[in-house]
Structure 1
């Protein structure tokens, strides 16, 4: 339990820091952050606070989908946007191309690492991921259809509102899945511990799984 709590409390703020670095890089963002940025442009409210507010509103959509939030869901709403806002407040403006590329790469890697940490803690889905799984369970839509339809919608609306869509959006979409696939097994607290070679049964005594 201690390890799980530590992973959650490190992973969620780290996710916000990574998001902030990609925002500062200015190459384009993931769909939900594009949406939050577009709302921030129109309202004048900080993008981090908008991220928290959007997370809370998405959580309300769980009610008709009969989803139940976990501790991780609530922590996600409170910590990710707050970390974005705090990081952007202390991050100096970056204009040169090479530092911007570096910011984006570091941000993407931080988000992947953070995803492995907080997903691996097994404290419940984030509000946006829970929306996808709820649509799958309640409406019968495949997960990929649920995710694609929702993320394309928020991406389009966010872009129309003034959010940044660009090469970074494409790189994030292509790269985040493989990177989280690498990170998650390192931190998944549900994985069974491996037996040492000395403790493993000899071939002739091993049970046939069939």
Structure 2
């Protein structure tokens, strides 16, 4: 597949610099919400635990230039094929449509991007419900990874802001992602 967009490595970290996962995505451009990138259908993510996943459909991400979150926008398929470190293979139906990690601000270094996951997540399900995940894991993760209290406070503030935006259907959680997905597919020949 010939892709007219720059390719880069994206890395999700545990505080402060432990690699949790990485993937290679294409940078589509930037708007007032941040930088947009896509992991096309079939794209792989490598996890520190040794698992490798392949997505069944495109996964779009928004990396805000000024924000403490990274958003993932799934398509209706939402299928993951996971090759487990122990040799098993699983097919998983992802139960959500949008997934937002609360993070330290993304770091853009050269062509690559990384972000530190700060435990809390906001998700939107296909039926429109919006929920906060992993609140029960914050204390354990703070202790395990030595996350500073001010990072968690910022994550909680961002979590509330993203929850409100998502619940109200405000940008970038208003379908904005689909115009970026369309831009990718208009530029890449089918097949």
TM-score range, shorter chain: 0.3 to 0.5
Q: Which has the larger radius of gyration?
A: 1
Q: TM-score, normalised by structure 1?
A: 0.32
Structure number with the higher helix fraction is 1
Q: TM-score, normalised by structure 2?
A: 0.34
